[in-house]
Amino acid sequence: MKKTLLVLSLILGTFQALSQITNVEEKFRLPKALKESSGAVFFNGKLVSHNDSSHRNRLYELDTVIGKITRTITVTNARNVDWEAMAHDDAFIYVGDIGNNSGVRTDLKIYKIAKEDFQQSTEVTAEIIEFNYSDQKGFTSNFNNTGWDAEALISYDENILILFTKNWINGITKAYPIPKKPGAYSVEPLPTTLNSGGLITGATYNPYTEKVYLLGYSSLLKPFIWVSENFNSMDIFSGTNTKTLLTSLGFEQTEAITYVDANRCFITSETIRIPLMSDYAKLVSFTTNDSIVSIANQKTEKVYLYPNPIKNVLYLNVPAFNSVEIYDATSKLISRSYQRKVDVSNLSNGFYYLKIYFNDQSYTFKKMIKY
């Protein structure tokens, strides 16, 4: 489902109010093999999860009805330095080796695993996406006191992942778009940040409702969820951001969140063992009452852009083509063309949205990466 470009929220800003998150409840204790679950997606009727640093390069497929692990999958060309997040789209699972508690890592990466391989074998080989933060200038070690840690990742559309930082210093979370195409990238933050009031440890983008759910907890291990919606293109925090405290859970080190369907999500927590407090890892569920987003104004006909990513000239293979508008990541209109061949050599490197009109004035959206 595509993000509708240029939909502006009537009220922009951040709100701490009652959200429509209900029926928050523990389903069961996680198996010992997932006692430090730190990333999760719901795929093919099962929860797929992994542990964080010091654990093996394995994914675990969990039956959420009986609470048992049904398969263990090894990523043969990967090392679990600090796996902290997962996301998925129609064809791939993404595992974020993005944990960076001291802020010194120069080997941040995301493993891209074909779902077809995942389903057919217990050993898979991943493609690799490497990245660094373009705005990080220093690499002095500062354990649990850095703004360059991250534990949250979403699949935004067919071309882009978005990473959210876990800011130990002041709770200000940045969002960074990262291409899904394997390669090495220096990534730049999106314009709007979120004052999360804690540590962001997980995220999921629900394509049925076009809402982003960010999971986290305070310094006192009080868990919460931020819901971001009505944002402007992929600038996730530019719309309405609503915080809900998960008070019914008590103290919890919540680590991962994934949507199940339009109105249900799963959360995982990890084992806590600190002075005066201990708890087991668990699977939690909650429901919402959101409406499925309408895409009535968008065409479903096949539209192809090539090459993409692009350097100089873009070609559009579009039936009943009328025109194309190009917008930058902040939704500013850059250019308009009535030709299927568009020279983009003068554009700066980065991400762009194409709003493609058909002869009947219906339209569709595509993402373009300029390098």
Note whether 235 and 330 are within 8 A (CB): yes
User: Do 111 and 84 reside in the same domain of the chain?
Assistant: yes
User: Do 204 and 322 reside in the same domain of the chain?
Assistant: no
User: Do 134 and 219 reside in the same domain of the chain?
Assistant: yes
Helix H segments across 181-224? Answer: none
CA distance 43 to 194: 29
- Structural domain includes residue 336: yes
Q: How confident is the model over 57-114, as pLDDT tens digits?
A: 999 999 999 999 999 999 999 999 999 999 999 899 999 999 999 999 999 999 999 9
pTM for this model (two decimals) = 0.78
Note whether 341 and 357 are within 8 A (CB): no
Pairing type for strands 13-15 and 240-245 reads: parallel
User: Do 213 and 338 reside in the same domain of the chain?
Assistant: no
- Structural domain includes residue 46: yes
The CATH number linked to 87 is 2.120.10.30
Q: Using CB atoms within 10 Å of the CB of residue 260, give its burial: 0 to 12 exposed, 13 to 18 middle, 19+ buried.
A: middle
CA distance 274 to 113: 35
* 3-state SS class at 36: coil
User: Do 71 and 119 reside in the same domain of the chain?
Assistant: yes
User: Do 25 and 81 reside in the same domain of the chain?
Assistant: yes
Note whether 1 and 295 are within 8 A (CB): yes
User: Do 246 and 338 reside in the same domain of the chain?
Assistant: no
Counting every residue written for the chain, the total comes to: 371
Sequential pLDDT tens for the chain (371 residues): 333 333 323 233 444 434 489 999 999 999 999 999 999 999 989 999 999 998 999 999 999 999 999 999 999 999 999 999 999 998 999 999 999 999 999 999 999 999 999 999 999 999 999 999 999 999 999 999 999 999 999 999 889 999 999 999 999 999 999 999 999 999 999 999 999 999 999 999 998 889 999 999 999 999 999 999 999 889 999 999 999 999 999 999 999 999 998 899 999 999 998 887 889 999 999 999 888 775 444 555 578 888 888 889 998 988 888 889 998 877 788 999 989 999 999 999 888 889 888 887 678 888 888 88
Say how many domains are in the chain: 2
Single out the residue in 234, 258, 287 at which a domain terminates.
Answer: 287
Q: How confident is the model over 257-274, as pLDDT tens digits?
A: 999 988 999 999 999 988
Residue 284 carries which side chain, given as an amino acid letter? V
Contacts of 339 (CB under 8 A, 6+ apart): none
